Every structure is written in C-alpha cells, then in structure tokens.
C-alpha cells in the first residue's frame, strides 16, 4: 500500500497489519541529466513492484528519498528516517534501493536493504522478485 492510499480515519484500523515500511532510495544528487533521473526513478519503481504486489496489506510504501549530496549523506539520512519510522510505530523499515551501488552502503538502522543485483538478476528471470520476497519473509520470521 502506498502512504497516499491511507486516510486519517483508516490508519488506526490498518496500523496493526501494516507493521513494515518500505523506504525507496534513488540515490540522485541533482547533477543528473533528465534521462538519468528518469532511469533512476524507473529502477526504484522496478525494485518496489514485486514487494508491493506480494505484500499488499502488510507493507506501506513511504515517499522515496531521492536527493543527497553523496552516498554517505544518503545513508545517514536514510538511517535517520528509519529511526523516526520506528519511533512512529513501525516494527520493520526496509530500504529498497533502485541501484545496486546503494545496497552496499552502511545502513545501520534498516531492518533490511533490498535492491537489484544486476549480474545475478540477469541470469534468471524473476530472481530479484524471489530474493526480495524471501528477504522480507525471513525478516518477519525472526
């Protein structure tokens, strides 16, 4: 579910079921050409799609974090947002990165970091979706 689909009057009833938040990251710095920004946003969309469809009613997708000065600043900002989302009542905060370079950043507050691994995901259709679903399901089992 996207954050924009949840009305004020609905949140109290949905809150017990929506214990996991997806925080999308595109990793933009503002120095990209328009076509590069489009590609980055499409990658985030593609990374989110299998999770949103598989876990609708159990996860809520928050607005994407797009801009930071560099990758370290992005990691720090994402960690702070994860911390605040936990304080808001979410049990799990999963970072969904659109670019594989972002999945290796030091995210200390995230419950998990999910994103494409281009080499691995190109070998077998559906590999990323399967790996992403398995990551979330394993997180819920612990």
Q: pLDDT tens digits, residue range 78-119?
A: 999 999 999 999 999 999 999 888 999 999 999 999 998 767
Residue spans per domain, the chain: 3-141
Pair 84, 118: CB distance under 8 Å: no
CA 51 to chain centre: 9
| Secondary structure of residue 94 in the 3-state scheme | strand
Report H helices in the chain.
8-14, 34-54, 71-87, 100-103, 118-123, 127-141
Residue 108, SS3? coil
If pLDDT is split at 50, 70 and 90, which confidence band does 70 have?
Answer: very high
Q: Which residues contact 32 (CB under 8 A, 6 or more apart)?
A: 40
Total-model pTM: 0.91
pLDDT (mean) for 59-82? 94
């Amino acid at each position: 579910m996207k954050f924009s689909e949840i009305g004020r009057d609905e949140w109290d009833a949905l809150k017990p079921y929506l214990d996991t938040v997806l925080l999308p990251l595109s990793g933009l710095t503002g120095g990209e050409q328009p076509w590069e920004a489009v590609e980055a946003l499409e990658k985030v969309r593609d990374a989110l799609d299998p999770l949103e469809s598989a876990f609708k009613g159990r996860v809520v997708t928050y607005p994407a974090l797009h801009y930071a000065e560099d990758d370290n600043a992005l990691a720090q900002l994402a960690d702070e947002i994860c911390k605040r989302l936990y304080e808001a009542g979410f049990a799990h905060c999963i970072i969904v990165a659109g670019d594989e370079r972002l999945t290796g950043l030091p995210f200390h507050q995230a419950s998990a970091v999910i994103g494409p691994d281009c080499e691995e995901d190109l070998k077998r259709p559906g590999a990323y979706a399967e790996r992403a679903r398995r990551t979330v399901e394993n997180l819920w089992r612990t």
